Amino acid sequence: MRRLKLFSFILMAGCLTVCNTFSWSQDISVPLRFDRYYNYDELVQAMKVLNKAFPDLTSLDLVGHSEEDREIWAMTINNPKTGDPLTKPGVYVDGNIHGNEIQAGEVALYFMNEMLTKYGKNEKITRLLDKNAYYIIPSVNVDGRYHFFEDPNTPSTNRGLRRPKDDDRDGLFDEDYPDDLDGDGNICQMRIRDPFGTQKTDPEDPRLMIPVKPGETGEWTILGSEGIDNDGDGRINEDSEGYVDGNRNWGFNWAPPYVQSGSGYYPFSGDGIRAIRDYIMERPNIIMVFAFHNTGGMYLRGPSVKSQGEFQRGDIAVYDYLGENAEKIVPGYRYLIGWKDLYATYGDFGDFMDHIVGAYTFVGELFMSSQETYREEDAGAGDPDGGGFFGESNTRSRERLKFNDHVAMGELYVPWKPYKHPVYGDIEIGGWVKMSSRLPHPFMLQDLVHRNAAVVMFSAEQTPEVKMEVFEKTRIGKDLFRVRVRLSNDKAMPTITYHSVREKVYPMDMLTVSGSSATVVSGGKITNRYTDQVSYKEDKPEVQFCQVPGFGMIEYQFLVSGKGQIKIHFESRKAGKVEQTIDL
């Protein structure tokens, strides 16, 4: 009897601790649930479960291994009946390049779950799946994801890659991590009673502190994050993992660590990052990219540094169209420019994808803590600050604490509790738990994942679709014909980005005319159809290099001599191919 009681107690205790982290290991099956978070192993399991349930539409690709030898998985979603992946525009979604920014994984899973479970049932989703090739890597920083769930953390720790670096320049590497002194699975704050302290208890909510006014007696000094001085250098928690930021380690406009913290010793020093790069470079059809992060509620585009200069106008038009719609699909999220509205970044993933792969990249900063409100409807915006770069105001903190108390049942915040610290003596530990502040409580997760997946779908709809029309064929001489071709595209994205054309990143799309008994005498782009203005290509007129614009068209004229059949063929790295055969 006692043994049974003990056993049930252990079981329950186990459940409770696990429950506290909002991810309990129930069966993972299709359709996936989104009232919970998926740790690393569960995420991989979820992908495998989706792949098993939809074997014809998906394939699981092992991209590579992380620093701690964990597997990085990608899923390709493609309908083979509408063609091989490389013959279609590629839509790429990833997330969680920062280990603590976990809900990106759930967004990616949700997107896959929606596309696959509704295929064949929902007309729009069916068309979307048939149209593009999708490559999804829900978790880029798999070591980070694993350790964020497994180890005690703040909402912001465990961001970097597991690459040793001597951050505090003391000859030791990664020797002073935060420590979970009270064993509650969270790294919170430490404070100590101090009449000379700069903080005093907030009269409105004793869990908060406010700055002391000059002349007032203090009450508290904030000691920092929970921890001890592991390396005896007088500082606490100053050298944890890395610091190498996966999103500063990419090879476009990379800058060394003294210019920008976290870039790694040289571009692509990260093992997992390198593997993902190689995976992407083998898929040059990728034209639309989403990289999900937290937090703040934004859809960011480049440029990443001011000195790069603004993007090409034609490309900005695409971003504006997609961004402005994103703001409506996820109300409250803002469409912004990286360097201007946030801060300069060197060597980031988005810049690499835009400049080297020739894609359109959005960084989605998921979740706004300003949605954790405690007020009536129509009570006004209150304090708009939802967690800026340097923290939130006390007004907002008080409100969020009420949200925590009455809406989240106290699950987001640990009240101050006494603790005996080996160095400081009697202190108190308390604060926001790791599963708070930068990500939604699970009851709000469903809304977040759906809306952001919808942004991906909206953009996926706008990948280029080229139609070819041979709108004129006239005999103008003995065995000499004038053939006019129109290539039109009623989607927002051009078949090759304006940046790629300007910098000659890769060969432009090609329009070719060939025939076994025919020769192309001259050819060129029609600049004015009505007055017969054609800008002729001097050499090899049978191969024309072109770009079909978004929401637009281009027209070409060929003078062909000969007889029989000619094949007019358009081929694009990102927009597949289309061809027609006509008789002369």
Partner 1 sequence: MKRFFPKCALIAMTFGIMWGLAWSQDQAMTLTYDAYMTPDGLNQALKSLNSRFSNTTKLHRLAVTPGKRELVLLEIGPEVGRQDKSLPAILVVGNMDGDVPLSSMATLYLADFLLQTEGQATDKTWYILPCGNPDALQRYFSRPLYRDTRNGKPRNDDMDDRVDEDGYNDLDGNGMITQMRVKDPEGTMIAHGGDPRIMRKADPLKDEKGIYKIYSEGLDDDGDGKYNEDGPGGISAGINFPHLFEPFKPSTGLWPGCTDESFQLMKFAFEHPEIAMTVSFGATNFCMVPPKGGRRSGVDMDKIKVPENMATMINADPEQTYSMKEIMDMVQPMLPPGMEVTESMIASFLGLGAVVNPLQEDLEIYNDLAEKYKEYLKDKGMKDDRLDPSSARDGSFELWSYYQLGVHTFSMDFWTLPEIKDEKKEKSGITIEKLETMTSDEFVALGEEKISAFLKEVGAPDQYKAASVIQMVQSGTVAPKQMAQMMKQMPKPKDDSGGDPKTKALLAFNDQILDGKGFIDWTPFHHPTLGDVEIGGEVAYANNTPPAEVMDSLFSIQVPWGTEISKKLPKITILKTNATSQGAGIYEVEVWIENPSYLPFPTAMGKRNQQPAPAILTIDNDDITILSGKKRTPIQDLAGFETKKFTWMIQSDRNTTLEIQLTSVNAWGDQKQIKIGG
Q: Give the separation between CA 464 and CA 493, rounded to whole angstroms.
A: 5
Neighbours of 33 (CB within 10 A): 16
Nearest approach, Cβ of residue 150 and partner 1 (Å): 23
Q: Does 204 bind partner 1 (CB under 8 A)?
A: no
**Considering beta carbons, is residue 145 or 355 the nearer one to partner 1?**
355
> 3-state DSSP call for residue 129?
helix
Applying CB under 8 A, among 22, 54, 321, 339 the residue interacting with partner 1 is: 339
**Considering beta carbons, is residue 105 or 515 the nearer one to partner 1?**
515
Applying CB under 8 A, among 14, 120, 206, 232 the residue interacting with partner 1 is: 232
Nearest approach, Cβ of residue 89 and partner 1 (Å): 21
Q: Give the separation between CA 351 and CA 358, rounded to whole angstroms.
A: 10
**Considering beta carbons, is residue 135 or 252 the nearer one to partner 1?**
252
Residue 479 pairs in a beta bridge with: none
Nearest approach, Cβ of residue 410 and partner 1 (Å): 23
DSSP 467-504: EEEEEEEEEEETTEEEEEEEEEE-SSS-SS-HHHHHHT
Nearest approach, Cβ of residue 512 and partner 1 (Å): 8
**Selected range binding partner 1 among 165-173, 286-294, 462-470, 528-536, rule: CB under 8 A:** 165-173
DSSP 138-164: S-S-HHHHHHHHHS-B-TT-S-S-S--
Binding mask 168-187 for partner 1 (x = CB under 8 A): -xxxx---------------
Cα 130 from chain centre: 23
Burial 304-334, CB ≥16 within 10 A → b, else e: bbeebeebbebbebbbebbbebbbebbeebb
Task: Report residue 263 as tokens.
Answer: 């870039």
Binding mask 244-283 for partner 1 (x = CB under 8 A): ------xxx-xxxxxxxx---xxxxx--------------
**Selected range binding partner 1 among 33-41, 287-295, 333-341, 467-475, rule: CB under 8 A:** 333-341
Applying CB under 8 A, among 419, 424, 545, 551 the residue interacting with partner 1 is: 545
Binding mask 375-414 for partner 1 (x = CB under 8 A): -------------xxxx-----------------------
Nearest approach, Cβ of residue 411 and partner 1 (Å): 23
Applying CB under 8 A, among 74, 326, 344, 466 the residue interacting with partner 1 is: 344
Nearest approach, Cβ of residue 158 and partner 1 (Å): 16
How far apart, in Å, are the Cα atoms of 142 and each of 41, 97, 266, 307?
10, 8, 21, 33
Q: Answer yes or no: are the C-beta atoms of 523 and 546 closer than 8 Å.
A: no
**Sign of torsion, CA 293 296 297 301?**
negative
**Selected range binding partner 1 among 36-44, 69-77, 92-100, 539-547, rule: CB under 8 A:** 539-547
Task: Report residue 371 as tokens.
Answer: 């949605």
**Helix H or strand E segment including 189:** strand 189-193
- 506 class by beta-carbon count within 10 Å (0-12 exposed, 13-18 middle, 19+ buried): middle
Q: Give the separation between CA 534 and CA 527, rounded to whole angstroms.
A: 6
Residue type, 376: E
Nearest approach, Cβ of residue 78 and partner 1 (Å): 26
Binding positions for partner 1, 51-80, rule CB under 8 A: none
Nearest approach, Cβ of residue 543 and partner 1 (Å): 6
Q: Which residues contact 103 (CB under 8 A, 6 or more apart)?
A: 37, 292, 294, 366, 367, 439, 440, 445, 448, 449
Q: Give the separation between CA 302 and CA 315, rounded to whole angstroms.
A: 11
**Considering beta carbons, is residue 339 or 551 the nearer one to partner 1?**
339
Q: Does 423 bind partner 1 (CB under 8 A)?
A: no
Cα 173 from chain centre: 30
Nearest approach, Cβ of residue 355 and partner 1 (Å): 7
Q: Give the separation between CA 339 and CA 353, rounded to whole angstroms.
A: 16
Nearest approach, Cβ of residue 256 and partner 1 (Å): 5
Q: Does 237 bind partner 1 (CB under 8 A)?
A: yes
Q: Give the separation between CA 416 and CA 206, rounded to whole angstroms.
A: 9
Nearest approach, Cβ of residue 44 and partner 1 (Å): 29
Binding positions for partner 1, 491-520, rule CB under 8 A: 503-508, 510
Q: Does 535 bind partner 1 (CB under 8 A)?
A: no
How far apart, in Å, are the Cα atoms of 454 and each of 9, 128, 457?
43, 12, 5
**Considering beta carbons, is residue 255 or 454 the nearer one to partner 1?**
255
Applying CB under 8 A, among 56, 84, 166, 579 the residue interacting with partner 1 is: 166
Binding mask 122-141 for partner 1 (x = CB under 8 A): --------------------
Q: Give the separation between CA 318 and CA 492, rounded to whole angstroms.
A: 6
Applying CB under 8 A, among 233, 327, 405, 461 the residue interacting with partner 1 is: 233
Number of chain residues interacting with partner 1 (CB under 8 A): 61
**Considering beta carbons, is residue 106 or 542 the nearer one to partner 1?**
542
Task: Report residue 346 as tokens.
Answer: 């060197």
User: What angle in degrees, to the nearest 10, is found between the helix axes of 313-329 and 442-461?
Assistant: 140
Applying CB under 8 A, among 104, 115, 326, 356 the residue interacting with partner 1 is: 356
Q: Give the separation between CA 496 and CA 506, rounded to whole angstroms.
A: 9
Nearest approach, Cβ of residue 361 and partner 1 (Å): 16
Nearest approach, Cβ of residue 462 and partner 1 (Å): 26
User: Which ranges in 242-388 belong to alpha helices (H)?
Assistant: 271-281, 313-329, 338-341, 349-352
Nearest approach, Cβ of residue 407 and partner 1 (Å): 26
Nearest approach, Cβ of residue 539 and partner 1 (Å): 4
**Selected range binding partner 1 among 125-133, 304-312, 372-380, 445-453, rule: CB under 8 A:** 304-312
Chain contacts with partner 1 (rule: CB under 8 A)? 166, 169-172, 222-225, 231-238, 250-252, 254-261, 265-269, 305-307, 339-341, 343-344, 346, 352, 355-356, 388-391, 503-508, 510, 538-540, 543, 545
